Amino acid sequence: MSLPLSLALYRAATTALEPFAPLLLDRRAKAGKEDRARLHERLGRPKTPRPDGTLVWLHGASVGESLSILPLVERLRTERPGVAVLVTSGTVTSAALLARRLPAGAIHQFLPVDTPGGARRFLDHWRPDLAVFVESELWPNLLLTAKARGVKLALVSAKLSDKSYAGWRARPFAAWALFSGFDLILAQDGRAAERLANLGGTVAGEADLKFGAAPLPVDAAALASLRVRLGGRPVLLAASTHPGEDELVLAAWRALPASNDHGRPRLVIVPRHPDRGPAVADLALAADAAACLRSREPDDSADVIVADTLGELGLWYRLADLALVAGSLVEGIGGHNPLEPARLDCPIVSGPHVESWLTAYADLRDADGVAFADASVLGARLADLLARPEVLQRQAAQARAFVDRRDAEARAGLDRILALLDAEAQA
């Protein structure tokens, strides 16, 4: 079948640009956006051997999408131990987190750049039987080449932004060529299902893989130790902060009243990117707060703890009396995952800018499981919430009930994916 004109032009352009891919990747590596030791993976030249037998390939573009894959990876390793699992992602941060979170036996690789040669070499090496893509990052050369080789394709937790949807609507033949090629599409919600159907996809149901995950892990010894060291003093957590938010959080914390028993609540700031830790600590010191970096003083319990470590959000959500899920106080980020604290019975407050998690926050708001505050009233809102622990407990319980229900729905969606794998094995 001939390609639609827009896809044919895309293939021609990526073929012409392929010789320049090493130079582009080298520049990105110098900027810290690529892992220089693994650039061969980005060129579709993997060095890790392919395991024998059936192989499932799962792709999530960045941190959120990659982590949403983990429940499926866990089930594959548990229920299909003879099936090899390959997980690809596109960012250095996602690779670091997956290195800590992937179960034994699962393989991580960086996704190759979407050139015809890169796609061909990647698929020649890994020869997947089933490919599962999360959300909406679609790479035409990889998808079309995989489909031509008979790979079963699934698009799960699928969604389309307004911009992306408009772009595909402007190229209807290209949209049909890609979306009609999936053997299974599970939309993130009803709106996404309608859009995907309009573009030529056959939507089998809804399942949001941001649900269905296990609670964030925790080091039990670290949790027990910190519970003692924190001494019963209330803990206010600012999770996954970005530049411009730390100052707002510190100002709001400084404005909190001190209780007679414990003084002002202890503040824990977890920067989204751990390498910002020293800069955040400097901001705290400039605000006349006793601050420490957890990476340097893991047993310290200063007034402000900057948790510049990977993989410890599960620890802090378990210890916090209230968690501000950041990425939501300033524009341009879109918020971060509120489901992680909800699973751990941690009360949640968020800023207003939650475009990336709009549906989840709307549902939590409807369930009375989240509070909101913009930067101008953040201090007063935090003070009000912390003064009413019974309200926080009720909110946390309602958020947990909502997430438990949606997690069950997502696990049913995972059953559909496993069924597709079984069908492939029987073919």
Active site residues per annotation: 65
Q: Which residues contact 372 (CB under 8 A, 6 or more apart)?
A: 349, 350, 351, 352, 365
Q: List the strands of the sheet with 371-372, edge to edge.
A: 291-293, 304-306, 266-271, 235-241, 322-325, 348-350, 371-372
Cα angle 92, 95, 96; round to 5: 90
Burial of 81 (0-12, 13-18, 19+ CB in 10 A): exposed
Q: In one letter, which amino acid is 94? A: S
3-state secondary structure the chain: CCCCHHHHHHHHHHHHHHHHHHHHHHHHHHCCCCCHHHHHHHCCCCCCCCCCCCEEEEECCCHHHHHHHHHHHHHHHHHCCCCEEEEEECCHHHHHHHHHHCCCCCEEEECCCCCHHHHHHHHHHHCCCEEEEECCCCCHHHHHHHHHCCCEEEEEEECCCHHHHHHHHCCHHHHHHHHCCCCEEEECCHHHHHHHHHCCCCEEEECCCCCCCCCCCCCHHHHHHHHHHHCCCCEEEEEEECCCCHHHHHHHHHCCCCECCCECCEEEEEECCHHHHHHHHHHHHHCCCCEEECCCCCCCCCCEEECCCCCCHHHHHHHCCEEEECCCCCCCCCCCCCHHHHHCCCCEEECCCCHHHHHHHHHHHHCCCCEECCHHHHHHHHHHHHCCHHHHHHHHHHHHHHHHHHHHHHHHHHHHHHHHHHHHHHC
Strand partners for 55: 84
Task: For residue 407, give both structure tokens.
Answer: 């997690």
